[in-house]
Amino acid sequence: MLKTILARIHQKHRTMKYPDEPAQLPELFRGYPVLNAEACPAGCRLCADACPFGALSHETKTLSLDMGKCLFCRECELACPHGAISFSRDEKLAARNRGDLIVRSDGERKLTEALEAKMRSLFGRSLKLREVSAGGCNACEADVNVLSTVAWDLGRFGVQFVASPRHADGILVTGPVTENMREALLKTYKAVPAPKIVIASGACAINGGPFIGSPEVHDGVDGLLPVDLYIPGCPPHPFTILDGLLRLLGRIEQRG
């Protein structure tokens, strides 16, 4: 016991102070896209043509990027010789509505809105989620699991992952929803007592990711279940997931 106490004193406090302090992100992190249509010469489509999944479109004097489709691979940024597109280190990417994931060079940014007052009164201080891996590659699943480690300590916000949908307030879905997982996903959702929420985490769960259009997947959870929160990324960084969850619960003010 004495050795354990001494080791704890030596290690000190390991849990980060986010969101009271800004997120510390690595140099290679690719966050909220920055679009500058004014830098694009007429007729240039190098960035849009370089996107493997059609996430970027270039119209007259307007650039738009769908974060729900984007894998944040930087192919568009590397293909553009004019510096019209880049990725910031801003981790705040999640949105309540699918349309709010589309970033436009001439549009206004919209952060995640909190749940309605009644739902927030139920889940604002205690939210239990059942995670459903609906055919994911395990990248999104791994970054969700990170949130339960000592450095992140998701439980301090009252958010926990549970083993049974009957003990849950909602589900967090990862993966493109393969045909083999469709029924399991629907049964899990049905087993969660109402009222309940659905969170789509990662490009696959939002739009099918790199598997979009495959006959073996359902291109994400949209169309199967009502989604309350979309968290883009491939995979989403744990800070992005945490920011989305806390804003959904009204635990972070609607500031940038």
- The domain that holds 170 is classified in CATH as 3.40.50.12280
User: What DSSP element (H or E) covers 179?
Assistant: helix 179-191
Query: Does the pLDDT of residue 8 top 80, yes or no?
Result: no
Mean pLDDT of all residues belonging to the chain: 92
Q: How many domains does the chain have?
A: 1
- How far is Cα 105 from Cα 145, in angstroms, rounded to an integer? 34
Residue 77 domain flag: no
- CB count in 10 Å sphere of residue 182: 16
**Considering only CA atoms, which of 246, 218, 221, 241 is closest in space to residue 231?**
241
Residue 75 domain flag: no
Residue 158 domain flag: yes
Give pLDDT tens digits for 94-130.
Answer: 999 999 999 999 888 989 999 999 999 999 999 999 9
Tell me the longest C-alpha to C-alpha distance in the chain: 71
Percent of the chain with pLDDT over 70: 96
Helix (H, G, I), strand (E, B) or coil at 33: strand
Give pLDDT tens digits for 41-62.
Answer: 877 888 889 999 999 988 767 8
For residue 86, what are its two tokens?
A: 């880049």
Residue 18 Cα distances to 4, 24, 25, 158, angstroms: 27, 9, 12, 15
pLDDT at residue 2, as a whole number = 81
- How far is Cα 213 from Cα 68, in angstroms, rounded to an integer? 15
Give pLDDT tens digits for 219-256.
Answer: 999 999 999 999 999 999 999 999 999 999 999 865 55
Length of the chain: 256
pLDDT at residue 11, as a whole number = 67
pLDDT at residue 13, as a whole number = 65
100 vs 38, residue with greater confidence: 100
pLDDT at residue 254, as a whole number = 54
Residue 94 domain flag: no
pLDDT at residue 70, as a whole number = 96
Q: How confident is the model at residue 188 (pLDDT cuts 50, 70, 90)?
A: very high
**Considering only CA atoms, which of 211, 201, 204, 203 is closest in space to residue 231?**
201
pLDDT at residue 58, as a whole number = 81
Residue 20 domain flag: no
Q: How confident is the model at residue 10 (pLDDT cuts 50, 70, 90)?
A: confident
pLDDT at residue 41, as a whole number = 81
Query: Contact at 8 Å (CB) between 159 and 187?
Result: no
The answer for residues whose C-beta is within 8 angstroms of residue 21's C-beta and 6 or more apart is none
- How far is Cα 15 from Cα 153, in angstroms, rounded to an integer? 7
Residue 231 domain flag: yes
Residue 164 domain flag: yes
Across 21-50, average pLDDT: 89
Residue 88 domain flag: no
Query: Contact at 8 Å (CB) between 102 and 65?
Result: yes
pTM over 0.95: no
Domain extent, residue 225, equals 117-248
CA 198 to chain centre: 12
Give pLDDT tens digits for 159-187.
Answer: 999 999 999 999 999 999 999 999 999 99
The answer for residues whose C-beta is within 8 angstroms of residue 175's C-beta and 6 or more apart is 132, 133, 134, 135, 136, 137, 140, 181, 202, 204, 205
